[in-house]
Amino acid sequence: MANTQSAKERIRNSARKAVYNRLHRSRARTYVKKTRALIAQKNLPAAREEIIKAISALDRAAGKGVIHPNNAARRKSRLVKLLNKASAKS
């Protein structure tokens, strides 16, 4: 257990930031999963709409420092690549 006042304050701050980070990380993951599911179902028009939300959520998470900007870029790149591959097949 923390002994000093500043250590107790850091624990409180860390807990508050963890909730904030979890919110943004979870939101981004959810949109990415939805997009991947729509691509797998061959529902490309809906996937195109959902990918915009996923990219936005990833950019927002990266901007807030929840995930690294390169991590967001990599995930966006893979999603778009997957969508383009599915579009080329159909």
The amino acid occupying position 10 is R
Query: Where do the domains of the chain lie, and which CATH numbers do they carry?
Result: 8-89 (1.20.58.110)
- Choice between 3 and 31, residue whose per-residue pLDDT is larger: 31
- For 14-43, what is the mean pLDDT? 96
User: For the chain, what percent of residues have pLDDT higher than 70?
Assistant: 100
Span 29-70, pLDDT tens digits? 999 999 999 999 999 999 999 999 999 999 999 999 999 999
- The rounded distance, in Å, linking the Cα atoms of 85 and 90 is 9
Span 46-56, pLDDT tens digits? 999 999 999 99
